[in-house]
Amino acid sequence: MIQDSEKALRRKRIIHAIMFIILIVVFFCFIFPFILVVINVFKEKSDIIREPLSLIGAKKGFTLANFPEAMVKMNFWKVFGNSLIITVSATILTLLFSSMTAFVIVRNNWKACVLLFSAMIASMVIPFQVLMVPIVSLYGGIFNVMNHRITLILMHVGFSLSMATFMYHGAIHTNIPLELEEAALIDGCTRWQTFWKVVFPLLAPTTATVAIIDAMAFWNDYLLPSLVLREKNLYTIPIATQAFYGTYSSDLGLIMAALILAMLPILILYLFLQRYIVEGVTSGAVKG
């Protein structure tokens, strides 16, 4: 009996060791491109091409010249400001509209709420590529509202509203007791005050999750801004990085410097909000 238990324990340890090794290999496969970028961003183009896996360039050595040159060529502070305005505005509007929409849908048994929520869920399966031509034809050709930041912000909000509302719906339905709202109403709060003072503060994990998911999507999006924004003074960071790709050759050092500059702000945001993400995603998964 003791031998059987020892064999089972040994087998379990072997399985755990094998799984751990597999996870390390998979993790390395995912992180390897990022490691290459970090290593090569401090080397000249010739060193990157000659020895991409070396820590320091053999010919030119360690250099920081890629960063200031990349910032000048892509007009970094201008495009950074554009990306920041668009990302922050679209994220805040998405949080406000989706949380209020989910609250109304959850707390009212109207048929209109059921139809609206069903339409939102159905819209989540429509790929953006299907809507590209109608967007350009309708908003660009007929309404002539392209090439404006506010147009891009509202489009971002429209495309992200369904998923955000779905996440808030699950969180409110599962984690916010109706008794709290009834107590607030008895104490004299209006529905508006009840939502902002009682319900919304309890949705902090979901809010952080929606914020980081949407902010990353807005910040890194290339396709929609490339359709809406045509003037260089309105470019966002993903569009501005195209300045480093030539017809016949590309400066790899500048490209990698631009990629590092583009990912740093959203990476810092993720590090601050990461502890809320798992909690926010799973908050509406199981009904208590």
72-282, CATH topology level: MetI-like fold (1.10.3720)
* Residue 89 confidence (pLDDT): 95
Res 287: pLDDT: 46
- Residue 30: CA atoms inside 13 Å, Cβ hemisphere, count? 6
Q: What confidence tens digit (pLDDT) does each residue in 229-268 have?
A: 888 889 998 888 887 776 555 777 888 888 888 888 888 8
pLDDT score for 208:
87
CA distance 247 to 262: 22
- % of the chain residues with pLDDT over 90: 29
Q: What is the rounded distance in angstroms from the CA atom of residue 45 to the CA atom of residue 172?
A: 53
Encoded tokens for 76: 């970094």
Residue ranges per structural domain of the chain:
2-40, 72-282
| Residue 160, Cβ density class (10 Å: 0-12 exposed, 13-18 middle, ≥19 buried) | buried
What b-and-e string marks burial along 79-98, b requiring 16 or more CB atoms within 10 Å of the CB?
bbebbeebbebbbebbbebb
Q: What angle do CA 224, 217, 268 make, to 5 degrees?
A: 135
Is 166:120 a contact under the CB 8 Å cutoff? yes
73 Cβ partners below 8 Å, 6+ apart?
243, 244, 254
**Alpha carbon distance 141, 132 (integer Å):** 13
Neighbours of 275 (CB within 10 A): 11
Q: How confident is the model at residue 98 (pLDDT cuts 50, 70, 90)?
A: very high
Structure pTM?
A: 0.82
Q: pLDDT tens, 30-52?
A: 888 888 888 888 888 777 777 77
With cut-offs at 50, 70 and 90, classify the pLDDT of residue 285: very low
- More confident site: 141 or 261: 261
Residue 82 has pLDDT above 90, yes or no: yes
